[in-house]
């Protein structure tokens, strides 16, 4: 299931890797797409939304549900 988040604090390739690895540690099969310019992360996973938020926030980023495009 696709989950979309607004993630504050991402600015570089290291941020992309940190977020991606945090989510994939939770679900090794998760697909993670990061849009640095928009501060959006799309995660395709079966993991609970709250668990994904916690994984990303554990890397030091602020997360909130994405507003409709």
Return the SS3 of 47.
Answer: coil
At 65, is the pLDDT very low, low, confident or very high (cuts 50, 70, 90)? Answer: confident
Domain boundaries along the sequence of the chain: 2-63
Residue pLDDT, tens place only, 3-52: 999 999 999 999 999 999 999 999 999 999 999 999 999 999 999 999 99
Strand partners, 63: 7
Please tell me what DSSP assigns to residue 42. E
CATH number of 2-63: 3.30.70.100
pLDDT of residue 52: 97
**pTM of the predicted structure, to 2 decimals:** 0.91
């Amino acid at each position: 299931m696709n989950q979309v988040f607004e993630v504050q604090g991402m600015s570089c390739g290291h941020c992309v890797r940190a977020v991606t690895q945090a989510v994939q540690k939770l679900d090794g099969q998760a697909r993670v797409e990061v849009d640095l310019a928009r501060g959006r992360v799309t995660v395709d996973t079966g993991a609970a939304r709250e668990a994904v938020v916690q994984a990303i926030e554990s890397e030091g980023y602020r997360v909130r549900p994405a507003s409709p495009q």
